[in-house]
Amino acid sequence: KAYKDIIANGHDKGSFLELNNYSYILNHEGLNKNIVSAVDVNYDYLCNEMFWYMTASEDLASLNKIKSTGNNRSSETEFSNSAYGHIIFKRHGYNQLEQVIECLSKDKNSRRAVINFNVPDRHRIDIKDEICTYALQFYINDDKLNCTCMMRSNDSYGCLPYDLAFFTELQKYVAFSLGISCGTYTHFAVSFHLYKRDLEKVAKIKPHRDIEFNLVNLVSQLPNLIPIAKYDYFYKDIVNIFKKFGVLCLN
C-alpha cells in the first residue's frame, strides 16, 4: 500500500518519488507477524545489522566487511554517525532504552519516555551519514505499550524493512520489561520516498509471503542463514549480548 501511495501521489524529485508527512500504524498483530516479509529483505545483512546494534558498536568495519550486500554504509570516518545501537546504549553517556523503561515504570502516564537519535550537528549540511530518525517515543494506553517513530527521511524500499525490524523489537523489549503487551506502532516520516532505481523491484513485490520475523525466529535460523564460524570475531559475544538484551536466553 505504501508503495502504491508513493507511485500514485509522490512528488517527482528527479531520482526519487516523495510523499511528505506520511504515516501508518501497525496494530498488535502486525507487530508480531510479517514485519519484513513484503520485500526481498537481505536476511544476512538484517542479522548482522541487528547484532551490530546490540553490541552498541559504531565501527563500520565490523558491519561492512561481513558481506558486500548493497546495504553497506558509508561515512567520512571509520565510525558511523547513525549507529543506532551506539546512540541508544552508549553515545550520550547512558542507556536511553533503560531510561525509557525506568521512566514508564515510575509513571505509566509519562510523556518523557523518548529515545533521541538526531541531535544538533554543525556539520549537518555536508555530512554523508546524517541520522535519519528523530526519535522513538513510548507511551502506555489501556495497559499496552505503544511506540511512535518520527523520521526526517525514510527510504521506503532500501531502509524501511530494516528500521521496522529493529524499532519494533525495541518496543517488544520495553513491553517485556514492563510486563505488559504491545499496542500499536506508528511510523511517521517527513520524507517518505522511493528511489526510481527500485521501481522495477517494487513492481515484483508479492503482497503475502509466509515469512515471519522476530528475534526468536531469527536466532533459530542463524545456522542456515550465516556461516557463523567464519565470522567468529563478530559473534563471539552473541550469547551474552542476547542475555543482556533480555528478550532471549540462549543455551
Q: Is 182 assigned a catalytic role?
A: no
Residue from 153, 154, 85 nearest 124 by CA: 153
**Could you please report the per-residue DSSP string of the chain?**
-HHHHHHHH-EE-SSEEEEEEEEEEE-HHHHHS-TT-SS---HHHHHHHHHHHHTT--BSHHHHTT---S-----SSSB-TT-HHHIIIIITSS-HHHHHHHHHHH-TT-S--EEE-----TTTTT-SS---EEEEEEEEETTEEEEEEEEEEEETTTTHHHHHHHHHHHHHHHHHHHT-EEEEEEEEEEEEEEEGGGHHHHHT--S--S----HHHHHHHHHHH--GGGGHHHHTTHHHHHHHHSS----
Catalytic residue among 47, 103, 132, 249: 132
Q: Hey, which residues are catalytic here?
A: 132
